[in-house]
Each structure stands twice: as structure tokens, then as C-alpha cells.
Amino acid sequence: MDTPGSIRSQNLPVPSLLYSQGRCIEDHGVIHNMMFNTETLWNYSFKTTQNKTEWWDNGILPLWITAQRQGRKTASFYYPGGGAKYKGEAIQRSLVEPYTDPDSNETEWRENIDTVMNWFSKEDFDFVTLLRRAG
């Protein structure tokens, strides 16, 4: 999308990532692809937090757990926090991005979309998160 004259930051996360997890920009602790805990002063790379329940379970339920509690079939494909448990509850299916995966691979991205579309069409999932990472 061409947006002449606009401002674009390389260091702010995508709003949909934050809002789907019930967190606002003032308190989410995400700085670019790094996670920062203001209490412990620990830094985590984005990919190392994927299964860290202690990072993601902040008392606010993400959309996929809310949908699951309403009887929906849910899944996560490489989505931030998709590998964590929330109040002891995990998403029904989660694929977590391997730490060694490159951030931008167009072929892999297309395959990921095909996988998610198959989840909808062949496995009857109702709600699926998918992260598009650009390098």
C-alpha cells in the first residue's frame, strides 16, 4: 500500500497482535520484536516467548480462549502467545514458530496460508490466528 507523506514506525507492533490479547499499547511490554518486562527488567526475543505462559497469561483472556469457551474450534499458527496457557487453558491447536525460522520467506508464507485454509475447510475450525512476519 502506497501511503505518501505518512509516518511509519519500524518499532511498534501490529495493533491486531495486541488487541487480540486484550492489551493496550501502554502496557503490553512489546518493543519491536523484543519483549520487555518492566518488573524483572528481562528482555525476551519474540520467538522465545511463544510457549512462556508466565509472559502471556496476564489475567486477560485472548480472543481464541474466549471463542473456545463459547464452543468454537480454535487454532493458532505462529501467532504470538498461541503456545501459552491462559488460566490453565490452552488453545485446541497451536503451531509455534521455530526459533531458527527466517523472518521473511514468501514460499513458506504461502504454504502457511494453505495450511490455515485447510483447517477451515477440511477440519472445520471456527477461529484461527495466523501471523505474517516480514523481515
pLDDT in tens, 30-88: 555 667 777 788 777 777 878 888 878 878 888 999 999 999 999 999 888 899 999 99
What is the reported pLDDT for 26? 57
What is the reported pLDDT for 80? 83
Q: Please report which confidence band the pLDDT of residue 1 belongs to, taking 50, 70 and 90 as the band edges.
A: very low
What is the reported pLDDT for 107? 83
Pair type for strands 43-45 and 34-36: antiparallel
Whole-angstrom distance, CA of residue 131 vs CA of residue 91? 16
CATH match of 15-130 with 3.30.1360.20: no
pTM: 0.72
72-98 as b/e: b if 16+ CB within 10 A? ebbbbbbbbbbbbebeeebbbebbbbe
Mean of pLDDT values over 9-19 = 49
Whole-angstrom distance, CA of residue 134 vs CA of residue 63? 23
* Domain boundaries of the chain, sorted by first residue: 15-130
pLDDT in tens, 109-122: 889 999 999 999 99
What is the reported pLDDT for 5? 58
